[in-house]
Amino acid sequence: MNLHEYQGKNILEGFGVGIQRGYVATNSKEAVNAAKKLTDLTGTECHVIKAQIHAGGRGKGGGVKLAKSISEVEKISNDIIGMSLVTPQTPPEGKKVNKVLVAEDVYYPGDSELKEFYVSVLLNRTSGKNMIMYSTEGGMDIESVAANTSHLIFYEEIDPAMGLIPFQARKVAFNLGLKNKAFKSMIKFITNLYNAYVGSDATLFEINPVLKTSDDEIIAVDAKVSIDDNAMFRHKDYHKLRDLEEENQIEVEADKAGLNYVDLDGNVGCMVNGAGLAMATMDLIKQSGGSPANFLDVGGTADAKRVELAFRLILKDPNVKAILVNIFGGIVRCDRVAQGIIDAYKNIGDNIKVPIIVRLQGTNSDSAKTLIQNSNLDVIAATAFEEAAMKVQEVLS
């Protein structure tokens, strides 16, 4: 589950990490109230208005703007809320902004003591360890730093069983070139950030920029956070942080129906029972020159209703040019699944405009094949796995 910046910052604050303070607003009136509250805290009328969408690069796309007065807060938040924000990380049509974070301005103009860093904590799946990735070159161009001057990015691996050892936090602060109070502040920042990452069962905490202020405090100006979905049962209070509008709508619908659906960017829709067979099916599609449009495990009870629902979900993806149904009849009988497919086909009717290749193997597979062949529907039956993949290739070419 991905979080918005303001949600990530709330978690950080709970773990004692210094943050750029702010309040979230859904309209300009709330934004003005937020700004007034902040002015009471900070004494300045300068605020930064930040679009809250699940994508980075907002600064480049015009989603982060400085307001020098309360009336500017009103105008800018009015402009940003409701806009379709296009950044290097959004789809070409952009993402609709529903909320802004009104934050204190932490960059004092002309302050040469300010320094921006990059710090993230993430899971390194190759080594099975957590990793702190950091750089002195924080700010809006970290992607080009990584691409062109990768030696400026440092890594510190943390054994999850040992946890972060104090010398590791000191090493990070040292490599970032900090001294005295700023050095100590950074150690505290890294330690608490790592605690936030572990304590919230996150797979990513990316803070860019991390700011060293002129009084040598270290604060998080941005926060990109992903929580491990498998750990959500341990964080009941995080469920309300899920923003369904930011997620793939087909996946949201599938989730409600209890179907395991993951959207992919290929053109062959897959309907399979069992996660292992689903993975193998995607491999086979790839090997035979196609590309899977989704992962879909309809589960052990592939009855007519579920089959129909699965078809409807797959057909919502406009990229789908063919559908491969690959069902192994172990618990479920193939003839029942075949009947389910025929019923679903009839119910959905004209909406099915792509060829469907069905491979049913296992209990009663012969009578299933006969049922499909006699149904007079535009469904191609296959018996062997490779045969099915070849038929997919044929209909696509």
| Smallest separation, CB 104 to ligand GDP (Å) | 6
> Within 13 Å of residue 67, how many CA atoms lie on the same side as its CB?
32
Set 6, 118, 134, 194: catalytic member: 118
| Smallest separation, CB 74 to Mn ion (Å) | 25
Distances from the Cα of 343 to the Cα of 165, 305, 381, angstroms:
61, 9, 16
Rounded to 10 degrees, what is the CA torsion of 63, 67, 70, 71? -80
Q: Is 94 near ligand GDP (CB under 6 A)?
A: no
Binding mask 5-24 for ligand GDP (x = CB under 6 A): ---------------x----
Pick from 222, 263, 308, 335 the residue near Mn ion by CB under 5 A. Answer: 222
Which stretch, 54-62, 72-80, 122-130, 153-161, contacts ligand GDP (CB under 6 A)? 54-62
Pick from 66, 244, 275, 384 the residue near ligand GDP by CB under 6 A. Answer: 66
Set 104, 137, 206, 246: catalytic member: 206
Which stretch, 142-150, 222-230, 266-274, 385-393, contacts Mn ion (CB under 5 A)? 222-230
Q: Is 62 near ligand GDP (CB under 6 A)?
A: no
Q: Is 154 near ligand GDP (CB under 6 A)?
A: no
- Tell me how far apart the alpha carbons of residues 52 and 26 are, in angstroms, rounded to a whole number: 10
Pick from 208, 213, 281, 364 the residue near Mn ion by CB under 5 A. Answer: 208
Task: Pick one of ligand GDP, Mn ion, none as the site partner of residue 105 (Cβ within 5 to 8 A by kind).
Answer: ligand GDP
Total Cβ atoms within 10 A of residue 249: 11
Task: Pick one of ligand GDP, Mn ion, none as the site partner of residue 58 (Cβ within 5 to 8 A by kind).
Answer: ligand GDP
Pick from 19, 25, 48, 310 the residue near ligand GDP by CB under 6 A. Answer: 48
Active site annotation includes 134: no
When the beta carbons of 207 and 389 are compared against ligand GDP, the nearer one is 207
Q: Is 340 near ligand GDP (CB under 6 A)?
A: no
Q: Is 324 near ligand GDP (CB under 6 A)?
A: no
| Residue 397 burial class via C-beta count within 10 angstroms: exposed 0-12, middle 13-18, buried 19 and up | exposed
**Spatial CA neighbour of 55 closest among 248, 252, 249, 246:** 246
Q: What is the DSSP letter of 247?
A: S
When the beta carbons of 53 and 307 are compared against ligand GDP, the nearer one is 53
Task: Pick one of ligand GDP, Mn ion, none as the site partner of residue 254 (Cβ within 5 to 8 A by kind).
Answer: none
- Tell me how far apart the alpha carbons of residues 129 and 9 are, in angstroms, rounded to a whole number: 24
Residues in Cβ contact with 215 at an 8 Å cutoff, skipping those fewer than 6 apart: none
Instruction: Name the residue whose CB lies closest to Mn ion.
Output: 222
| Residue 380 burial class via C-beta count within 10 angstroms: exposed 0-12, middle 13-18, buried 19 and up | buried
Q: What is the DSSP letter of 225?
A: E
Q: Is 72 near ligand GDP (CB under 6 A)?
A: no
- Tell me how far apart the alpha carbons of residues 343 and 29 are, in angstroms, rounded to a whole number: 53
Q: Kindly tell me the sign of the dihedral angle through the C-alpha atoms of 372, 373, 375, 380.
A: positive
Active site annotation includes 206: yes
Angle, nearest 10°, between helix axes 180-199 and 5-14? 110
Which stretch, 49-57, 161-169, 234-242, 372-380, contacts ligand GDP (CB under 6 A)? 49-57
Are 268 and 294 in contact by the 8 Å Cβ rule? The answer is no
Tokens representing residue 303 in the block:
């009855």
Q: Is 222 near ligand GDP (CB under 6 A)?
A: yes
Total Cβ atoms within 10 A of residue 238: 17
When the beta carbons of 139 and 355 are compared against ligand GDP, the nearer one is 139
Give contact residues for Mn ion (rule: CB under 5 A).
208, 222
Give contact residues for ligand GDP (rule: CB under 6 A).
20, 48, 50, 56-59, 64, 66, 103, 105-107, 139-140, 208-209, 221-222
Q: What is the set of active-site residues?
A: 118, 206
